[in-house]
């Protein structure tokens, strides 16, 4: 029996359930390929995808677009889901042009913006960063091991990720600590911190663009400025600021959170940690499995149907939103044997093997950098340091919620 959207029960997903791969999604996955849900702080119902093959399929299906305004003839009634997420943060209207770039555009516009960024994320350039990443991480970990304790997000995850991405963008080394503080405040979910942090990052980005216009260097911002000098379609200042914010946000927060979540997952599974220490050559495979297991970005961006259509045997009306629970897809038992089990020897087959970084045209540009950072960090923290353990009771760890994005570790105290 086909089920129309009017007849479908709507489930409310809490932030806790968004980030809970088994309890949160198992029953929804059993019910149907698409289930109607509301996300935390979002009023508009969406079709939720929880199965792996469907998540990959929708992310490469031309019948769906990121920009709701591209749906032909759609009379938009109220703010889009992305706009509701922005409103949930309480952000002033003047900053909204800086949010959602690349993530919420399609087609030629998306390709234009993506091509301007990918030049700094080639496999050759990322691989060449390994010695520098190893040096940075050693310098971060050594004093922590000496004092026998640390808070991994503050002391390792954020410093490592911010140093690397800021250097690629062109942010001066002296300004990296301020940028790291601002992005942590922006990602905190605390509106009293979010707005000032966003204002500071926008102002700093505008100043950086002005300085690189006057005195170019070998960095992304200087490249954008140079490529746009004789090009009427070159990046505007607003677009450059938006891209800087995108790279800072996605290049610092998810990698830092993943490093902490990966460490916690291995501490939660001492048999797997022991296997990794005994066979460090498994590190690359372990990082891939940990990305599947933790999925640092648990929910994909919304997509809108450009026409009435059928997807995965379910009817979707023009203008209705579909989103993928990436974490749920990575725990699909039809795709993975015993997905609830962390197995660092798991063979995920050809290709990426998971959708933690998305799929197709919107596959995360910084995926290879995030993997490399995680490999280096886990090596230094768990293989080179064999005594690392939790510095607090497991049930006392602190988490914070982000609108529509689930729960994330706020702190991860450890002892050496």
Phi and psi dihedrals of 40, rounded to 5? -55, 130
Q: Are 84 and 44 within 8 A, CB to CB?
A: yes
The mean pLDDT value for 179-193 works out to: 89
| Region of poorest pLDDT, from 99-108, 148-157, 242-251 | 99-108
Phi and psi dihedrals of 36, rounded to 5? -90, 125
Residue 75 has what pLDDT? 67
> C-alpha distances in angstroms, 109 versus 48, 112, 213, 378?
26, 5, 24, 37
C-alpha distance across the termini of the chain, in Å: 58
Residue 230 has what pLDDT? 77
Q: Among 18-22, 23-27, 263-267, name the most confident range.
A: 263-267
Q: How confident is the model at residue 373 (pLDDT cuts 50, 70, 90)?
A: very high
The mean pLDDT value for 381-401 works out to: 95
Residue 77 has what pLDDT? 64
pLDDT in tens, 25-57: 998 999 999 999 998 777 889 999 999 999 999
pLDDT in tens, 60-106: 999 999 988 889 887 666 667 767 766 766 666 677 777 766 667 78
Residue 3 confidence (pLDDT) above 50? no
Map residue 193 onto helix, strand or coil: helix
pLDDT in tens, 134-148: 999 999 999 999 999
- Separation of CA 391 from chain center: 26
Element (H, E) at 370: helix 367-378
Task: Give which of 272, 264, 338 is closest to 296, Cα–Cα.
Answer: 264
Element (H, E) at 201: helix 191-214
Which residue shows structure tokens 């555009």?
A: 105
> C-alpha distances in angstroms, 235 versus 63, 66, 93, 189, 201?
28, 21, 21, 30, 18
The mean pLDDT value for 148-174 works out to: 97
Phi and psi dihedrals of 394, rounded to 5? -55, -40
Where is pLDDT greater, at 320 or 81? 320
Mean confidence (pLDDT) of the chain? 90
The mean pLDDT value for 230-253 works out to: 89
Distance in angstroms (rounded) separating the CA atoms of residues 35 and 17: 15
Which residue shows structure tokens 């891209």?
A: 243
Residue 2 confidence (pLDDT) above 70? no
Distance in angstroms (rounded) separating the CA atoms of residues 284 and 208: 36
Phi and psi dihedrals of 325, rounded to 5? -80, 95
| Region of poorest pLDDT, from 92-96, 135-139, 265-269, 321-325 | 92-96
Q: How confident is the model at residue 6 (pLDDT cuts 50, 70, 90)?
A: very low
| Region of poorest pLDDT, from 221-225, 266-270, 373-377 | 221-225
| Region of poorest pLDDT, from 84-98, 185-199, 293-307 | 84-98
In the chain, the domains with their CATH numbers are: 10-415 (1.10.630.10)
Residue 110 has what pLDDT? 83
Residue 358 confidence (pLDDT) above 50? yes
Q: Are 288 and 348 within 8 A, CB to CB?
A: yes
> C-alpha distances in angstroms, 270 versus 278, 387, 391?
12, 12, 16
304: β partners: 65, 321
Residue 1 confidence (pLDDT) above 60? no
Residue 90 has what pLDDT? 67
Distance in angstroms (rounded) separating the CA atoms of residues 98 and 198: 10
């Amino acid at each position: 029996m086909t089920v129309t959207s009017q007849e479908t029960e709507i489930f409310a997903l809490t932030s806790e359930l968004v980030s809970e791969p088994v309890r949160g999604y198992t029953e929804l996955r059993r019910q149907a390929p698409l289930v109607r849900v509301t996300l935390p702080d979002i009023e508009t119902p969406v079709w939720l995808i929880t199965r792996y093959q469907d998540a990959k399929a929708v992310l490469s299906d031309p019948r769906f677009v990121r920009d709701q305004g591209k749906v032909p003839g759609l009379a938009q009634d109220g703010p889009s889901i992305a706009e509701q997420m922005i409103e949930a943060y309480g952000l002033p209207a003047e900053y909204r042009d800086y949010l959602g770039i690349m993530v919420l555009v399609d087609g030629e516009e998306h390709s234009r913006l993506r091509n301007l960024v990918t030049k700094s994320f080639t496999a050759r350039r990322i691989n060449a960063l390994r010695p520098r990443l190893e040096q940075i991480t050693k310098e971060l970990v050594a004093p922590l091991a000496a004092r026998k304790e640390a808070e991994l997000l503050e002391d390792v995850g954020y410093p490592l990720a911010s140093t690397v991405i800021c250097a690629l963008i062109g942010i001066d080394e002296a300004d990296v600590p301020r940028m790291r503080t601002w992005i942590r405040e922006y990602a905190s979910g605390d509106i009293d911190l979010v707005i000032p942090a966003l204002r500071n990052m926008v102002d700093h980005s505008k100043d950086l663009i002005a300085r690189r216009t006057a005195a170019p260097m070998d960095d992304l911002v200087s490249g954008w400025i140079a490529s746009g000098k004789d090009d009427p379609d070159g990046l505007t200042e607003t677009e450059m600021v938006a891209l800087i914010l995108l790279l800072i946000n996605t290049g610092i927060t998810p990698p830092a959170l993943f490093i902490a979540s990966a460490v916690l997952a291995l501490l939660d599974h001492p048999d797997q940690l022991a296997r990794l220490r005994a066979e460090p050559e498994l590190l690359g495979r372990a990082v891939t499995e940990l990305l599947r297991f933790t999925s640092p970005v648990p929910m994909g961006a919304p997509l809108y149907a450009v026409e009435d259509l059928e997807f995965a045997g379910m009817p979707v009306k023009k203008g209705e939103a579909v989103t993928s629970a990436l974490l749920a897809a990575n725990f699909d038992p039809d795709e993975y044997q015993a997905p609830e089990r962390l197995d660092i020897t798991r063979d995920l087959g050809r290709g990426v093997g998971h959708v933690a970084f998305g799929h197709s045209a919107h596959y995360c540009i910084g995926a290879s950098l995030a993997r490399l950072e995680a490999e280096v960090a886990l090596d230094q923290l768990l293989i080179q340091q064999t005594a690392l353990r939790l510095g607090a009771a497991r049930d006392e760890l602190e988490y914070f919620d982000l609108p529509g994005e689930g729960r994330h570790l706020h702190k991860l105290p450890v002892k050496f």
